[in-house]
Structures are given as C-alpha cells and as structure tokens.
Amino acid sequence: MESGMFSGGPDEWFEDVGRRTLAACIENGLMPDHRVLDIGAGSLRVGWWLVHYIEPTNYHAIEPVRDRLDAAAEILGAPIHLYYNTNFDFPDVEFDFVLARSIWTHASKPMISKMLAEFARKSAPRAKFLTSVIYAVTPDEDYDGVDWVGKVLKNDPSGGVKHSGDWIRAECAKHDLSVEEVGDLHGQTWLRIEHAPRESGPAPAGSRERGSR
C-alpha cells in the first residue's frame, strides 16, 4: 500500500479479497441486521465491505496493531467498534456472525481453541463463524507450536501455518460446534462453524426470532 501499511495480504488482491469475502459471508447467512465480529480485522480489507452491508454500529473489529486499524477506521469514517486485545477475547456481545479471514493460517492451535470457546459462549444460537484455513496434508505440516506465525507488522517475516481437518473437526466437537467446508478463495478453504443442533422439541413461546435456533 502507498501508506506503507500491511494490507493483510498481497496488495493486488486487496479489493478482490474484500469483495469476495463479503459475498461468501452473505452466501453463508450474513443478514443486514446482524451483529458481526471481524477477528484480526487488519486494515479493514473486509470490514470496509461489511459496513456497507450491515449497520456500522453492529460491526466490531479486533486488531492488535492499533495504528493499522485506527488509520483504516478514520478513512472509513463510520461509527464502528474497535478492540486491540491480543488474546482473542471477544467483546461481551451476542454475535450473529464472526469472521476470521487469513487468521487461522497464522494462528496456533491454542489460539484457535480460544476463538472457538469464545464463539461458543458469545454468539446467538443460529450464529455462523466463517473462517479460512489451509489444511495440513501430512502430520509434519500440522502446526503444533503456540505462537502466531507471520506478519503482524509490515516488516515482520512472512509465514503461515496449516492445521489438519481432523484436528479442526475434533476441536469444534469439543465446543459443541459443527463445521462444514463451504468453498475457497485464493488458496484458503472456507469453513462455516455453527452451534451443533440440539435434540429438542419445539422452541419455547416468546423465544427470539433473530438468531433463535
């Protein structure tokens, strides 16, 4: 980018990833009245598109690189919610849609576990969590470190990690979540994670329509 900011991936993909990620969100259930969390929102590559579809006040972004997020938010000029934590703590909101684009491709297994635990606790019953991943094909590729791998700041070394489908499915099941492959974009597979269906009778009278299971 001209500003010298890390854009979140190759600069030539900036618009395409934003545009097509919004499309993937809509195809996977995003509605205009949803409350959305964008984990590792970076320079709002996707956030810019999201807030042209949802209410800006329903958009929440976590990004530890404060300057990057603040600069993008200033350009956007909309009333969005910004958080700068590094431990994947979700704000205390019942989210309808959570997005992690190009995040599990850098995050460790304990970090992914934390995101799943937070999603399980802080989301509506019919919420969706759309995340992108590159699968490990061999056991050697399956990342077992604890650190983030890849750029945080512009000049950090590049790099990425892979996780096996078996581990992801088992980890989702631990949190009573289901997971389904729903497409791909620029070499990363989209996964849609949801609360696993409960065996239950009819919904109790007066239960919330938006987001109720």
CA distances for 137 relative to 4, 37, 39, 141, 201, angstroms: 35, 30, 26, 7, 41
> How distant is the alpha carbon of residue 117 from its chain centre?
13
> Using the rule CB under 6 A, which residue among 30, 37, 72, 102 binds ligand SAM?
102
> Using the rule CB under 6 A, which residue among 40, 96, 98, 124 binds ligand SAM?
40
Touching ligand SAM, residues 125-154 (CB under 6 A): 148, 152
CA angle (12, 14, 17) in 5-degree steps: 115
Question: What six digits make up the tokens of 149?
Answer: 């791998």
Site string for ligand SAM, 59-78 (x = CB under 6 A): ---xxxx-------------
Note whether 37 and 90 are within 8 A (CB).
yes
Options 26-34, 101-109, 116-124, 198-206: segment touching ligand SAM (CB under 6 A): 101-109
Residue 108 is a binding residue for ligand SAM (CB under 6 A): no
DSSP three-state, residue 156: coil
> Using the rule CB under 6 A, which residue among 3, 57, 86, 212 binds ligand SAM?
86
Smallest distance, Å, CB 166 to ligand SAM?
24
Question: What six digits make up the tokens of 36?
Answer: 């959305």
Length of the chain, please? Answer: 213
> Using the rule CB under 6 A, which residue among 34, 35, 45, 195 binds ligand SAM?
45
Question: What six digits make up the tokens of 84?
Answer: 């700068």
Query: Which residues of this protein are in contact with ligand SAM, per CB under 6 A?
Result: 8-9, 39-42, 45-46, 62-65, 86, 88, 101-103, 106, 148, 152
